[in-house]
Amino acid sequence: MTRHANNLSMRTCGAIVLCAWALHAHSGGVLVLNSDASVEQYAAVATAFTGAIRERTVTIDLKNVAAASEVERKVLAADPSSLYCIGSKAYLVAHKLYKNRTIVLSSAINWQRFPLGAKTYGIANELPTEMQLTMFRYFFPEVQRIGVVYSEINREWIKQARKDGAEMGIKVIGKRVKKPKHVRKAMQKLLPKVDAIWVIQDPVVLRDRTAIESVFRQCNAAHTPVFTYNTMFAQFGAVMMITPDIPTIGRQAAALLKDTSDTEERFQSPAGSAITLNAGKAREYGIKLNEEALDSVNNLIE
């Protein structure tokens, strides 16, 4: 009788342990994997996403996890049914551990450079090159040659920009650099050949504030206008800034994660954008501005 009771007790305990393991193994929910929550852009999309997803979420900030082994342990312990990855570091971790689960990526430069799982979707970090070039031409009809300094990170992006530019009569001239120290010489070669410089998001080219100031100083000396992607560059003298709406990207990611069944393209363009125009700087450089285009400006700097 005692032996039978002991056997029954052992079977019961085993069942409880097995049940607990099964519950953990299928814990579900959404894991928000943030490359660095201290980055303002990353924090903004994360807040918008969690406010829109209406599902149980667990967030891991990779900046606060020092060792790679600890990152993997935490991510595996979360065992989510789906993941939202903010930034390239977060996505590469998710792809390594959960590439067969639904993953939505945003806030990563040039998504085309990443390996993609069968269930990987996302919101592009950049506004479509065609849309931006159309706006450049609309505001500044005499601009025919636009220069871009870029690194290998943006190889696919520059290829698309050149194609879109050729279709609308704009020549996109690129200079690729391998290291930050090569940017100055690339700019020196590029500036005599172009009507404007297109500053894109590239960590090799724009390594730090000193690098940014150097690029704008060269452009200012050459009286060459700068078109770019963020209003922060207004302080350096950018003429035109076309910026994606960051919170909208987070809400887009939430909608995409909820339902990928009707997705025609695996990656969507940012749904919202704003145009900031530094009219004073344009006049200083003597670049012809289409006055009719001013109705499309969200923020005007005189």
240-244 and 273-278 as β-strands: parallel, antiparallel, unpaired? Answer: antiparallel
The pLDDT of residue 6:
43
Alpha helices by DSSP H, the chain: 2-25, 40-53, 68-78, 88-98, 129-139, 155-167, 183-190, 209-221, 246-258, 279-285
CA–CA separation, 289 and 302 (whole Å): 13
The pLDDT of residue 75:
92
The pLDDT of residue 263:
66
pLDDT tens digits, 249-291? 999 999 999 988 766 788 999 999 999 999 999 999 999 999 9
pLDDT tens digits, 211-234? 999 999 999 999 999 999 999 999
Q: Where are the domains of the chain?
A: 2-123, 129-244+272-301
pLDDT tens digits, 30-72? 999 999 999 999 999 999 999 999 888 999 999 988 788 899 9
pLDDT tens digits, 105-145? 999 999 999 999 999 999 999 999 999 999 999 999 999 99
**Cα three-residue angle 191-230-171, rounded to 5 degrees:** 35
The pLDDT of residue 260:
82
CA–CA separation, 68 and 233 (whole Å): 34
Class of domain 129-244+272-301: alpha beta
Classify domain 2-123 by CATH number: 3.40.50
Q: Is the pLDDT of residue 89 over 90?
A: yes
Q: Is the Cβ–Cβ distance between 35 and 29 less than 8 Å? A: no
pLDDT above 70: percentage of residues in the chain: 90
pLDDT mean across residues, the chain: 90
CA–CA separation, 28 and 78 (whole Å): 8
pLDDT above 90: percentage of residues in the chain: 83
